[in-house]
Structure 1
Amino acid sequence: MNKSNIYFANFDFTNFWDDSDYALEEYVNDIPSDELMKSIEKELGYKLPDSYIYLSKQHNGGIPVNTCFPTNKPTMWAKDHIEITGIMGIGRDKDCSLCGRFGSQFMISEWGYPNIGVAICDTPTDGHNMIFLDYRECGIKGEPKVVNIDQENDYEITHLADNFEKFICGLVSRENFNYD
């Protein structure tokens, strides 16, 4: 079976991305070559999920239209969800790419986030809350879970999704939540 056909099989990406000038400037990288992906994985020390690579081959990072993910417990951001400001692409050139100026290693070394995997999404909290691929259970080459890490609450880790594909498919509009 062709791997490219098994990811996001029932998901419509027609209106997924908000390609604003800001998104294109800060997040959206060129489609990564296989050589670039391998060098990014080597630099990060983790094998990226195939679904993440698949998505990056279609649109490499950016700001989705739907930016919220429901949670079962309160987070720093809200009582029932987290919100992302963008998804980091596979690259080094954009500030908000996996190995960019504000990428995964920056969040771990400069902000003190636990070294449990790869920071993949930032949030409206200006670095005080990040979304990570969590490799603690699966090892550096396994299928990581997606978690929210709250820097303001002693780096509390909240499970969001069992894998990257489920995280992406679970993003919903802000309009689904009450901000009172």
Structure 2
Amino acid sequence: MPLPADFWDDGEYALTYVSGPPSDPLIASVEAELGYRLPASYVALMRTHNGGLPRRPCCPAPTPTTWAEDHIEVHGIMGIGRDLRYSLAGAGGSHFWMEEWGYPAIGVYFADCPSAGHDMIAFDYRSCGSGGEPQVVHVDQERDYRITVLAPDFATFVESLRPERDYDEEL
């Protein structure tokens, strides 16, 4: 999955999401803790840049969300690990959103949105099982945890990300 050279924002705040490259034993232990095999395309990306803030944060959405009529915005993508708050198995990771916020147990919550917890992005394993290739979905807490499919897989999700200017109505 080739990425543009400027895919990641490496500013100071972005580093709250970024860990060193995950080792095979760490990946295996996080997958065991979460109960799901992580998508190969996600693992490959995390081996090159383990979490962070994408410079192109907007993803088209097929239906309106509480964020916008035609898209969602990704704030940060969690890396594979447990040491940082914003990592998959960290204090603010996938289990936190299900246990503390009541998000549905559909898979792994891997990205947050700028709404401070009122919507999240997840790997949805309901159709493929815990070892399959999950869809990427948006879960909207403000709309009774409505689940909207954004992409059939992680690689397609990343390829669909667009700059904010694509949705700026004032331009």
What is the deviation of 1:12? Answer: 3.2
Give 1:40's aligned residue. 30
**One-letter identity of the residue aligned with 1:16:** F
Report the CA distance between 1:152 and its aligned residue.
Answer: 1.1
Which among 73, 87, 110 is matched to residue 120 of structure 1?
110
- Letter of the 2:123 counterpart: L
Q: 1:78 & 1:68 partners in 2: Cα distance? A: 10
Q: Deviations over 1:75-116 (max 9, x none)?
A: 110000000111000001111110111100000100000000
What is residue 12 of structure 1 aligned with on the other side? 3
Distance 2:94 2:86 in 1: 9
Q: Structure 2 unaligned runs (5+)?
A: none
Normalising to structure 2: TM-score of the pair? Answer: 0.97
C-alpha change, 1:93 and 1:179, in structure 2 (3 Å) is farther
Letter matched to residue 8 of structure 2: W
Shift of 1:52: 0.5
Structural mapping, 1:154-165, within 5 Å: 154-165=144-155
- Alignment match of 1:22 (pick from 13, 21, 31): 13
Total equivalences in the alignment: 170
> 1:81, 1:165 → 2: CA distance?
18
Please report the TM-score for the alignment, with normalisation by the length of structure 1: 0.92
5+ long unaligned stretches in structure 1? 1-7
Question: Over aligned residues, Cα RMSD in angstroms?
Answer: 0.9
